[in-house]
A and B are shown apart, each in its own frame.
Chain A
Amino acid sequence: MASLRPLRLPRLPRRDPARPSRRSQGISRVVPAGVRRAFTFWRRSIQARVATSTVLLSAVVIAGVGWLLTEQTRDGLLQNRAEVVVAEAISETNQATDRLAAAEGTEFDAVSQQAELARPIIRAGEARDFGVLLGGPVGSGTRLADGGAERTANLETASVPESLEARFDEVATTAWTFSEVVRSDPETGETTREPGIVVGSQVQLPADGNVYTLYYVFPLEEQQETLALVTRALATGAVVLLVLVAAITWLVTRQVVTPIRMARRVAERLAAGRLQERLRVRGEDDLARLAISFNQMAANLQKQIRQLEELSRVQQQFASDVSHELRTPLTTVRMAGDVLHDARADFDPVTARSAELLQTELDRFETLLEDLLEISRFDAGAAVLDLEDINLADVAHRVVHTTRTLAERRGVDVRVLLPEGPTARPCVAEVDARRVERVVRNLVTNAIDHAGPDGQVLVRLGCDGDAAAVAVRDFGVGLAPGESALVFNRFWRGDPARARTSGGTGLGLSISLEDTRLHGGWLQAWGRPGEGSQFRLTLPRHAGDTLRSSPLSLVPDDAARRPGPDRRGVGAR
């Protein structure tokens, strides 16, 4: 059975069952819907294919057997008939010879003796439905076709094949052959042809001592009818048999296919996440064992998945608990640090500096803890959006405002470029303001960090009907080829040897990416060594929409004009 062949699924291209394949899509352009449905049914149904192939093979076998039977019947019938007619012909010839011998005393000429020879036989033939032709004397070279010979009325001389006639050109024993009986209607002149047997038998005419050939023409009408009857019966039998075979195959394959279809449905449900789904096991046959194995597989899978889920849940819970447990002591430390920091003027320089360091590092520690908690919330899937319509320009300005101190300390000029021109519209999008602001702040802080002294950072905004985008461009060290994909990794550092200037946690871009994903947006990075980098945030303007394009290009215009080694913007979508 086709379904029990070794599975070769992994090599097949994955195909969505709900979507027609590319092949059938191509076909769909030329064939009507009904044919396409039938074709799809054919492709999907093992049952149809097995039943069809069984019917086809059965048809071939039945046709072969039928042909053989017909042949044998015909041969038998003809053989039988031939024996009978030859015996009849010989008996007629013998009787004729006897008659001629009995009349030997009288004087006749050859022509009247020919008539005397042929006429009784012709009469007998009319009664018993066979035709008679009397050929010319052997050796004279005359042919039946020359005419003039004695023959049954309406019987054409063409009934006797020339090969038989040629055989009786000399004295020969009785012989027969199959032929066509040709009769002509004297009134209409139409000729009818039917299969028949021609028997040739020779007689010596006492009148002239020549040997004449008598041709007996027996029609095979009766045998033909018998044969037709047998063929009809066989054909009817074959058709009935084929229908039965089709029905039986359909039922038998159904027995096998139905459990397979059930298994498929259950497998689909399992794949969709309903891990408790199982096959019903009935009996002890192969299918039942298949079901048992399938269920075992499902149970093992379920167990493994549950274990992993549990493990993951425990791990997330642990991370969350650790972070929370750290908070209370950190609060105390933080306050103690603050008290020391406020009082550092009274300390000696070493202690005062220590208090300062304590303070800054506590800030970092706190940010790191916050980021870790945020990440663990994302990992646990506990992050939810608090959506409202906000103008991204406001967000950009607010971020630039809050990062001004950092930018001034670095001597970096941060500018916001709003879309210009007649088609420009406010970049309003339905987003979670807190998260988007966090993403933009992260990108701007990063850019300020990497812009280098007296650098410049451009915050560009773009908007179209479906999407709003913010691109943050810096002209600093840029990104090495391939790094644009790595920047979003947790705790990733561009250059391990480079000093950690801003005290970032290394989780900023990971969190930004998670925030963006939560919105169904894109966060992508472009960079080239020595030419700076650009990070582009694209968000759908309506929550839940799917992004197709971004209003801003990932590769900045100034860089796009000069193709470099790394033009790829590796996206993290």
Chain B
Amino acid sequence: MEIMSQSTDHAANLATKGRVLVVDDDAALAEMLTIVLRQEGFDSRMCVRGDEALEVFRDYRPDVVLLDVMLPGKDGIDVCKEIRATSGVPIVMLTAKGDTVDVVVGLESGADDYVVKPFKPKELVARIRARVRRNDTAEPESLTIGDLAIDVPGHAVSRNGTPISLTPLEFDLLLCLARTPWQVFSRETLLEQVWGYRHAADTRLVNVHVQRLRSKVEHDPEHPEIVVTVRGVGYKAGVS
């Protein structure tokens, strides 16, 4: 009992940057991920079965979840949906298939980002950092976009006092647009600022998440007024 609490304390001390839950059926890869993440200053825990993932998630309460698509027991897509149903924690899918359908299905089930195997460890770490980065910024700031009020340090969005629940990624996306409402953001720029990509990546990420954000914040997602598409360029915040 004492040993266990000691080790937890030890881990908590080390894990100053955040906790990462690795759900992957390949034990070697999971272990390797743990090693790399620990080197980078993250605490991590492995889970090799899909049907145990949710339990471990509740127990561990990670800052980021790395989720393989193909898992024994339960599909990664289903796990992703279940986690998303109860929590807005950033989820990064690990997929062996870079094909369109897989990626889109993963993103639509609630994942914030995806990494195609084989990935470079530094690339993965960059994505994880981008996802947990929000914890570091906390200056008091309040913005409005359309008829929405954004409380930046509180990570809260409300319309006429009614709170709207957004995942951290959706919040970041909205915040990015709201901070410079006069600017049109290209998909590449958004990928860099919100997702933390250094160079061009899959712009479908942006499309999927803009759709999802609109479904939550727009009065009529078919005719968006908050997140407006600028044809041929990208997106911008709607005028108030």
Contacts and interface: CB of A to CB of B under 8 A. Distances in A.
A332 B36 contact: no
B121 interface: yes
19 contacts: A327-B117, A327-B118, A328-B26, A329-B26, A329-B29, A330-B117, A330-B118, A331-B32, A331-B119, A334-B118, A334-B119, A334-B120, A335-B32, A338-B121, A338-B122, A339-B121, A366-B118, A369-B118, A384-B100
Contacts of A404: none
A74 interface: no
A422 B207 CA distance: 39
B127 to A, nearest CB: 14
A382 interface: yes
B141 interface: no
B210 to A, nearest CB: 16
A369 B98 CA distance: 12
A339 B117 CA distance: 17
Nearest to B98: A373
Contacts of B28: 329, 332
B96 A328 contact: yes
A324 interface: yes
Contact of B232 (A336, A339, A389): A389
B117 A338 contact: no
B25 to A, nearest CB: 9
Q: Which residue of A328, A330, A388, A389 has the most chain B CB atoms within 10 A of its CB atom?
A: A328
A382 B99 contact: yes
B26 A335 contact: no
Contacts of A335: 29, 32-33, 35-36, 121
Interface residues of A, number: 22
Interface string B33-71: 101100100000000000000000000000000000000
Given A325-B96, A331-B118, A336-B32, 6 more contacts: A328-B29, A329-B28, A331-B117, A332-B26, A334-B120, A339-B35
Contacts of B117: 327-328, 330-331
Contacts of B232: 388-389
A377 interface: yes
B32 A332 contact: yes
Contacts of B199: 402
Query: Secondary structure of the A side of the interface?
Result: helix
A173 B29 CA distance: 137
Interface string A283-316: 0000000000000000000000000000000000
Contacts of B99: 377, 382
Contact of A339 (B36, B97, B100): B36
Nearest to A343: B39
A511 to B, nearest CB: 14
Contact of A331 (B29, B35, B97, B98): B29
A338 B40 CA distance: 13
Nearest to A402: B199
A366 B118 CA distance: 7
A329 B32 CA distance: 11
A336 B120 CA distance: 11
Given A332-B29, A339-B36, A327 B96 contact: yes
Pairs A-B, 5 closest by C-beta atoms: A327-B117, A331-B118, A330-B118, A327-B96, A324-B96
Interface in B115-152: 117-122
Interface in B69-107: 96-100
Contacts of A327: 96, 117-118
Contacts of B39: 339
B71 to A, nearest CB: 12
Contact of B36 (A338, A373, A388, A389): A338
Contacts of B119: 331, 334
A376 to B, nearest CB: 11
A434 to B, nearest CB: 8
A236 to B, nearest CB: 80
B120 A338 contact: yes
Contacts of A373: 98
A389 B232 CA distance: 8
A322 to B, nearest CB: 12
A339 B120 CA distance: 11
Nearest to B31: A332
Interface string A359-378: 00000001001000100010
A338 B118 CA distance: 12
Contacts of A328: 26, 29, 96, 117
Interface in A356-414: 366, 369, 373, 377, 382, 384, 388-389, 402
Contacts of B36: 335, 338-339
Nearest to A370: B98
Contacts of B97: 324
A429 to B, nearest CB: 14
Nearest to B100: A384
A131 B18 CA distance: 145
Contacts of A338: 36, 120-122
A330 B100 CA distance: 22
Contacts of B118: 327, 330-331, 334, 366, 369
Contacts of B26: 328-329, 332
A338 B100 CA distance: 28
